[in-house]
Amino acid sequence: MFRRFSPTRCLPTIALATAGLLLTSCARRETPVEAGLREKILHVGNGAEPGTLDPHLADAYTDTRLIAALFEGLTVIDERTSQAVPAAAERWEQSPDGLVWTFHLRANLRWSNGEPLTADDFVQSWRRCLSPELASPYAYFFSPVKNAEAFNHRQITDPAAVGFAAPDARTITVTLAHPTPYLPLLIANCAWYPVNPRVLGQLGGLNRRDTPWLTPAAFVGNGPFVLKEWTPNGRIVVAQNPQYWDAATVRLNGIVFYPIENPDVEERNFRAGQLHLTHNLPLSKIPAYRASDAAKLRIDPFAQSIFIRFNTTKPPFNNPQLRRALALAIDRDSISRHLLHGSRPPAHHLTPPGLAGYVPRARVPDDFVAARRLLADAGFPGGRGLPPFEIQVRNDELQPRIIEAVQAMWERELGVHATIALLELKTSIQNQRVLDFTVGANGWVADYPDPATFLELFVTNGGANWTGWGDATYDRLIAQAAQTLDPRARFECFQQAETILLEQAPIIPLIFGARNYLIHPSVKGWEPALIGLYQYKKVYLQGP
């Protein structure tokens, strides 16, 4: 018997099928943040496209914070304490005179391609960073090491004469030219990271800048993650490294870094569920997040000093009275409180807070009366006779705002006229490096949490002293600090040196750093880091 087709009986089935189609077509797509929680993939704004992922060539903070996921040195800086803790080295000790340090590697170190990572790999890597052929911008990080500067400056040619040795596969000795009590902090910097000498040698050469090893196919590292994708101006993807010595504790499967230079775009992406973490937050949005979404707003201390730099080789800025007058004629507290919404503290000295307990005695006051008097003593009463000058400023969200406020204060209080030239970061750095500027704004982020990372910048002819300024007494104090083991006596040298620096004013401190950014509630283990380098292996994602 045949059953007759009944449209009525089939209506529920058709209705359900149609509803299913409608639900499928209207379903909200999973955001990267939601997918990341499920897949254990962290999505991070990185602020800029990396110039390089080579740890020996990187010279931008946005490069080094990404490189920290791919490589690991002998030590790492603990975010909470700002102290050096074991990483690739399980322990170390120093000789009684502070000149010889011995580092003992962990037993299970391997490169991401499975090769054993040995003490000699570290030694070859450090010689690479020092090699004149590579011309690393951070070769000066090895300056405390015996014969390191001489080798880097081609005064000696035998790399074995530099104070590095690998007596066996798991032992490294570092012999210093003078005591350096902060060496474990210094060694945590990316200049001291190892690179695989065999891989680079096979691809073109260990000491060549153009060796093509920074591709997903060729990359070999020793960090908790490995490079899987690099789409220029798009994204950089890293995946968990199963060969990492501490892989069992790594809870993320991967990280996606996005080089988003515009903080407004980054903030919109965060609200749209595209990012777990932003690199920055527009200053104008801080009050709104404080008022309505404070749990997602983070303002962390950051060991950074933003300052004005003078080219003291160019008149009239070879006159310290003029420089000092300009330094006094700035209301830093007003800039911090009103312009920056209290997100960054005013800087009345060069060294920021939190550097191993060092607190400078010397301060640059906000004193317009004294500034006008000094300006007259310099030969420019009321600004008369002082030609207009240009201030070169990095074209970001922060520095132009600060310098515009300074420009207005100088105009109003001193009768001094300045113009502002906005430059890309790389152009600004290059101009100041070769003294192709008159006045420039820039900043410095601590490479390690110690006052030496700021005060050593301004020794005469120092590699990062882009002012043309030098002072023999200052140099002597910095050199004396480098040879002093007693912490109190060492800090006293720094106190006297910073006083000289502020009085002669080759730079004008303006504002200390802070990191204001957005963080999704699912991100755990992301702790404030004074120098902005994070142990990604400690970070994980967890839902409510």
What is the domain partition of the chain in residue ranges?
72-198, 304-513
Higher pLDDT, 155 or 396: 155
Predicted local distance difference test score (pLDDT) of residue 26: 53
Tens of pLDDT, residues 275-321: 999 999 999 999 999 999 999 999 999 999 999 999 999 999 999 99
CA distance 537 to 445: 23
Residue 22 has pLDDT above 50, yes or no: no
The stretch 46-61 carries a mean pLDDT of: 92
Distance CA 541, CA 255 (A): 11
For domain 304-513, the CATH architecture is Roll (3.10)
Residue 4 has pLDDT above 60, yes or no: no
For the domain spanning 72-198, the CATH number is 3.90.76.10
Contact 356, 449 (CB under 8 A): yes
pLDDT at 72: 98
Question: Which strand (E) or helix (H) includes residue 332?
Answer: helix 332-334
The CA distance from 174 to 164, in Å, is 5
pLDDT score at 61: 84
| DSSP letter (8 states) at residue 292 | H
Judged against a pLDDT cut of 50, whether residue 156 lies above it is answered with yes
Cα–chain-centroid distance for residue 256?
19
State yes or no: cis peptide before 316, omega within 30 of 0.
yes
Token pair in block for residue 411: 């105009």
The total of other beta-carbon atoms located within 10 Å of residue 248's CB is: 7
375-424 pLDDT, tens digit each: 999 999 999 999 999 999 998 889 999 999 999 999 999 999 999 999 98
The tokens of 283 are what? 């200053």
Distances (CA, A) of 393 to 433, 443, 529: 14, 11, 27
Cβ within 8 Å of residue 447, ≥6 positions away: 138, 141, 186, 189, 453, 531
CB count in 10 Å sphere of residue 535: 20
Query: What CA–CA distance (Å, rounded) separates 478 from 458?
Result: 9
Whole-angstrom CA distances from 476 to 182, 460, 471 are 19, 10, 9
Per-residue pLDDT tens digits for 80-136: 899 999 999 999 999 999 999 999 999 999 999 999 999 999 999 999 999 999 999
For the chain, give the percent of residues with pLDDT over 90: 86
Half-sphere exposure of 401 (CA within 13 A, CB side): 15
Model pLDDT, residue 10:
37
Q: Are 195 and 144 in contact (CB under 8 A)?
A: no
> Which residue is associated with the tokens 């507290």?
333
For residues 174 and 100, the answer to whether their CB atoms sit within 8 Å is: yes
- Looking at residue 27, its pLDDT comes to 59
- 16 or 253: which leads in pLDDT: 253
8 A C-beta contact, residue 431 and residue 437: yes
Q: Is 185 exposed, middle or buried (0-12, 13-18, 19+ CB in 10 A)?
A: buried
**13 has pLDDT over 90:** no
Residues 446-473 pLDDT 10s:
989 999 999 999 999 988 899 999 999 9
Q: Is the pLDDT of residue 214 over 60?
A: yes
> Chain-wide mean pLDDT for the chain?
93
Predicted local distance difference test score (pLDDT) of residue 485: 86
Q: What percent of the chain has pLDDT over 70?
A: 95
